[in-house]
Amino acid sequence: MAVELRSGLGKDGNPNFWYVARYPTRYFWVERVKRNYHNYVNRDAWARTLWANTYERHPPAKPRPHLSGDLWSFGGRGDPLTGEKHQRAFNMMFLDPDPPDIWWIISNGEMWLRDPQTFGVRRVAMAQDDTDNAHRFHIHRTDLERAAQDRFRRQERIWVPKTVEEVPENVDLEYAIAPLTREDLAEFLAENAGGDDEDYEAEVREARLLDEDGE
């Protein structure tokens, strides 16, 4: 039986933890993003091993809850995804050649951020805290907005990695700044992530999801 990503299965996180209480778990992705997460958790190699969710205002540093997701172990939000399983799950998403393409992804203390205009990539270090800001126990991913996705796929030469070791010339691997705290992340994304609020809201509105986010 296929895994269905939805509430009511005891996988929505500990409601007594302040972060879960402030940002309740949701599963309201736009269809192109939802398709990927359902595909990941239902692959034969991952049978009843992984869980995915989003949450309100996900991530708080730059809310794109309908394009963002967290990958955990099968117990749901808060069930640690670590070690070899974490790395295999990261590889699965990072190397996925099918759209939607990754805007930014955070795993094991690193964030890879793709500029939605130039499509150059930066990699920066993340600091740890009680919310797993360094993402050593889960993986965060936010996908490109629809217009950026279309532009990206129209490029004559695009970088979709074949291995996690493959690094093109347009990737800045230098940690030019200190590891980002949760508080730092909003400023960093505001300065470096770009994005188009109107494009995002238009896609969410067409999917009839805007009201579910309380906006």
Domain ranges of the chain: 18-208
Query: Residue 110 in contact with residue 125, Cβ under 8 Å?
Result: yes
68 beta partners: 142
pLDDT digit of tens for each residue in the chain (215 aa)? 899 999 999 999 999 999 999 999 999 999 999 999 999 999 999 999 999 999 999 999 999 999 999 999 999 999 999 999 999 999 999 999 889 999 999 999 999 999 999 888 888 899 999 999 999 999 999 999 999 999 998 987 777 777 777 766 556 655 557 899 999 999 999 999 999 999 999 999 999 986 544 44
Q: N- to C-terminal Cα distance for the chain? A: 35
